[in-house]
Amino acid sequence: MLNKIVQLSMLVIAFIIFYFSWLSDPRFSSESYIPKWLLNWGNDYYNLRTALPFIVFGFLLEFYSKQKIEGEMKSTIFNLIRNVSIVTAVVCVSEIGQLFIQSRSPDLLDIFFGIVGSLLGALFYNLLKRLRNAK
């Protein structure tokens, strides 16, 4: 049941990533539900805001991967490559989609920040797991 919740959460996060990546206004000024301070921060740190949802996505992906391979061979390198490949696919689809939106354009730094954000999320998950197991 927990794996299903995590899968659904990852789908919701991916949907949010695609939604905001494919808005016609990259400054999100038409999104009235976002607090003004958050809009200002996101516009000041344009590429860094890309990393934020990917931190959550990377955390959930790492959690799901670790739960799924409990009984299987635990290959950390294979797990890392698979998770980075999944995140790279998600971030590339979100950037390629911007080719079809007149006022948007893909950015290689967004791809970089998306991958780094997911790696930070995975690192955060592993740190929390080690702290929990140390007790």
Domain that holds residue 102: 2-134
pLDDT tens-digit profile of 56-89?
999 999 999 887 765 555 677 888 899 999 999 9
CA dihedral (71, 75, 80, 81) in degrees, to 10, reads -110
Instruction: Give pLDDT, residue 85.
Output: 97
The H or E element containing residue 135 is none
Q: What is the pLDDT of residue 1?
A: 87
pLDDT of residue 71: 54
At 102-124, the pLDDT tens digits run 989 999 999 999 999 999 999 99
Total tally of structural domains belonging to the chain: 1
CA distance 5 to 69: 17
Alpha-helix runs per DSSP H in the chain: 2-21, 36-44, 48-68, 76-97, 108-134
Cα dihedral: 90, 95, 101, 104 (round 10): 140
CA proximity to 93, closest of 79, 110, 80: 110
Q: Which residues of 46-82 are buried (b: 16+ CB within 10 A; e: fewer)?
A: eeebbbbbbbbbbbbbbbbbeeeeeeeeeeeeebeee
Direct distance between the N- and C-terminal alpha carbons of the chain, in angstroms, rounded to an integer: 26
pLDDT digits (tens, 9 = 90+) for 19-35: 999 999 888 888 889 89
Q: CA-CA distance, 122 to 55, in Å (whole number)?
A: 8
For residue 41 the two structure tokens come to: 């921060």
pTM: 0.90
